């Protein structure tokens, strides 16, 4: 048999709760011409054993394992050994919709100057409940204009598909920027080709307390300005006069994350999810005033919110949401009723 059209790269580290669902979402793709390279990064749980069962049943799954070192070395190794024309990323806690690969391959075939294409995402909580949708900018020029002044992410990395030759030409992933490797890669890919996003939601992006965004926020902020200004100098631009890290403020505690998820869900109309996380925040810290404010906001019936909006209070709700919602992926600022 010839080489597959797509090589899927998925690092895994202690993801036994989610990895089976992630693997199955890839194996059930409507587009089936792929190899699935799974890299276990020294998991101490049952992740390796779970994926190994799939590898025994499906010869497209190739499982590798070594001591814990980090994802970026695995991604570069995957680039080196992959055989596909296109590289699809996947994380072990996320879920791809069945038509994701088919849509992205079709786009890259039709747009030969495109180096990478993402898609819209649905953020979900640890239990899989919906938080909010995010549709990223699809036009390359507008997308690149945003990232060159420090707005990120412009493409959801685990939901992306890339032209392998473009990534290799750009130098692959740089290991020194682990946890911010995609920000650096998108900037470099935009210098030799075009970036894009499909307008449809084709991916479920999971938020949980052990995610990189939750546990490595300070490390991510420490690299952000360096990556940004390095890219600007490459392009003959002056370094930014402000720190983009100050605009990136993910919650640092479990209570704050529950509040963020509650407000994101409430602003998007997912009231059951909003109530769940506002209640969990209150349960964890019942004397936290902000938790009570969010709880009241989340339990208000849609009818009351509609009445308040008709009475001219919509700006109050929008301001409240802007103050409380800091999710880097969600750009919703007003509740849907």
Closest among 240, 246, 241, 325 to 290, alpha carbons compared:
325
Task: Quote the radius of gyration of the chain (alpha carbons, Å).
Answer: 20
Alpha-carbon span 198 to 118, nearest angstrom: 6
pLDDT (tens, 9 = 90+) of the chain, 337 residues, equals 689 999 999 999 999 999 999 999 999 999 999 999 999 999 999 999 999 999 999 999 999 999 998 899 999 999 999 999 999 999 999 999 999 999 999 999 999 999 999 999 999 999 999 999 999 999 999 999 999 998 888 999 999 999 999 999 999 999 998 888 999 999 999 999 999 999 999 999 999 877 655 555 566 677 888 899 999 999 999 998 888 876 666 667 888 899 899 988 988 889 899 989 998 988 988 888 888 878 887 777 656 666 666 666 556 555 555 555 555 556 544 433 3
> To the nearest 5 percent, what fractions of the chain are helix, strand and coil?
45, 15, 35
In this structure, which topology does domain 6-234 adopt according to CATH? Spore Coat Polysaccharide Biosynthesis Protein SpsA; Chain A (3.90.550)
User: What pLDDT is attached to residue 333?
Assistant: 41
Q: Where are the domains of the chain?
A: 6-234, 254-324
User: What pLDDT is attached to residue 157?
Assistant: 96
User: What pLDDT is attached to residue 314?
Assistant: 57
**Cis previous bond, 153, omega within 30:** yes
Q: Is the dihedral of CA 143, 144, 148, 153 positive or negative?
A: positive
The pTM score is 0.88
- Name the DSSP class of 46: S
State both tokens at 48: 């390796």
Alpha-carbon span 258 to 173, nearest angstrom: 32
């Amino acid at each position: 048999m010839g080489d597959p059209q797509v090589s899927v790269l998925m690092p895994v580290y202690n993801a036994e709760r989610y990895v089976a669902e992630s693997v199955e979402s890839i194996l059930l793709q409507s587009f089936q011409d792929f190899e699935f390279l799974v890299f276990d990064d020294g998991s101490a749980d049952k992740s390796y054993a779970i994926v190994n069962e799939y590898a025994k049943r499906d010869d497209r799954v190739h499982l590798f394992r070594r001591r814990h070192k980090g994802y970026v070395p695995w991604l570069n190794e995957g680039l080196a050994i992959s055989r596909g024309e296109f590289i699809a990323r996947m994380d072990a806690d996320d879920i791809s919709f069945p038509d994701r690969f088919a849509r992205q391959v079709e786009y890259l075939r039709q747009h030969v100057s495109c180096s990478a294409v993402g898609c819209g995402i649905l953020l979900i909580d640890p239990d899989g409940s919906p938080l909010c949708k995010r549709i990223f900018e699809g036009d390359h020029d507008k997308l690149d204009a945003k990232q060159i002044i420090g707005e990120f992410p412009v493409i959801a990395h685990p939901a992306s598909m890339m032209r392998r030759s473009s990534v290799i030409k750009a130098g692959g992933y740089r290991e020194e920027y682990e946890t911010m490797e995609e920000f650096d890669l998108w900037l470099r890919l935009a210098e030799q080709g075009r970036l894009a996003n499909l307008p449809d939601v084709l991916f479920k992006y999971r938020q949980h307390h052990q995610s990189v965004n939750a546990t490595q926020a300070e490390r991510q902020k420490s690299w952000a300005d360096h990556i940004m200004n390095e890219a600007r100098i490459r392009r003959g631009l002056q370094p930014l006069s402000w720190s983009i890290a100050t605009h990136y403020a993910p919650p640092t505690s479990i209570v704050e994350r529950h509040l963020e998820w509650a407000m994101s869900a409430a602003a998007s109309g997912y009231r059951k999810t909003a109530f769940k996380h506002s209640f969990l925040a209150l349960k964890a810290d019942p004397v936290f005033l902000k938790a009570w404010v969010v709880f009241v906001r989340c339990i208000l019936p849609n009818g009351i919110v509609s009445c308040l909006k008709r009475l001219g209070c919509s700006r109050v709700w929008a301001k409240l949401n802007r103050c409380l919602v800091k999710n880097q992926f969600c750009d919703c600022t007003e509740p849907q009723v």
